[in-house]
Structures are given as structure tokens and as C-alpha cells.
Chains A and B, each alone.
Chain A
């Protein structure tokens, strides 16, 4: 039973399109995150939600909008996709906001052409 699952695993789209990535966790965790991994494998946090409330919003373009309908789900919507948005996006969850193990999904490889 997958702990943190995200869909789709691969996403190829044209510049200017709008796309969404979905994430669900079945661990009963209170906190969920979106991380971006660039082509050099550098991992950087984008957003963090705790009990459906946004608690971390890094300097991410406002074309990226996270939505948490409940504490088990955190979706990422991206408007007007640009070439530079190509990356692997990871959803993660943890019991507490920081200081405890974060469980990562398998990632969504987004390619903008």
C-alpha cells in the first residue's frame, strides 16, 4: 500500500498550458509538502501545508498554486507552463512540520516542450 502517491508519474506538455499534479498520503500525517528537483538533482521546497493551512511558501512564481482539500491531499496546479518549469516534482508528508521523517512520493517528471 503506497504511503505517498502522486499522479501522473510523467507529464509532457507544451509551453503555455495549464497542468495539475495530484498527491495523496495514507499515513495520517498532518503536514504535506511540494519539492522541486532540478536537472542537477538539487531538491528545494516549494510549499508546505499543515492541516490544510499553508505554512511555507518559498519564492515560487504565482503560476504555481497548491491546493489542499483535506489533510490527506495536496495538489499542485501550474498555469502558463514555461520551459524552465521542467523538473521532477515530489510530494512528501510528515507527522509534524519539520523535525521528523518526511516520506516522499515517487515523483512527477514534468517536461515542457
Chain B
């Protein structure tokens, strides 16, 4: 019940395309859903986050779509660029709790 399932494991997108990564959770007590971006040799860094009272959040080229009834959320990267090539992690947490991470998606954007 504490798991967050993420797919796909890897994704190859052409420059300018849309990258879509999906996550699903079980625990309805989760109330904070961040996405982290990790480059090789670096720590994860927060990209964008959403709370369950909002169905969509957009920051620049990055959008989170959140479906509370389906217990699913996704990250859309518009106009994907080679510099977006990294590993992306969805996560979930609750007040006073820990971050539960998805398995990660390795995104490669081809020029």
C-alpha cells in the first residue's frame, strides 16, 4: 500500500516531442506528489509537485496531470530537449511522512 508504481522504465523521444511518464499509488493518505529529476552523478532535484486538490499544474514545459479517483498522476514534458535527458522519479508522501519513490524512468531525448 506504500508503493508508487512508475512506467515506463525507459523512454526515447525525439527533440521537440512530448515525453509522458505515468505513476500510480494505492495509499489515499498521500497528500503531496513531487517529481524529481536526476542527472548522472548528481542528487535528485525537485522539478514540479502537486497536491491532490488540484488536477493539473504547469510550470514552463513541465505539466503534472493528477487523477485522484484513479489514483494516478503523470508528468508531461512538452517540446522535449536533449538537455532533458535524465532519470525522472515520481514520489508521494504524507504529512509527517517519508517520500516514497517510483522506480524511475530514464529519458533520452534524441537530437
- B79 at interface, CB cutoff 8 A: no
Tell me how many residues of B have a C-beta within 8 Å of chain A.
26
- B46 at interface, CB cutoff 8 A: yes
Sample 10 A-B pairs with CB under 8 A, ordered by A number: A4-B43, A33-B99, A35-B99, A56-B97, A58-B98, A92-B43, A99-B32, A101-B49, A104-B36, A107-B42
A101 nearest in chain B by CB position: B46
Query: Which A residues are in CB contact (< 8 Å) with B104?
Result: 40-43
Query: Which B residues are in CB contact (< 8 Å) with A48?
Result: 98
Tell me how many residues of A have a C-beta within 8 Å of chain B.
27
Residues A43 and B101 in contact in the complex (CB < 8 Å), given A99-B94, A105-B43:
yes
- B63 at interface, CB cutoff 8 A: no
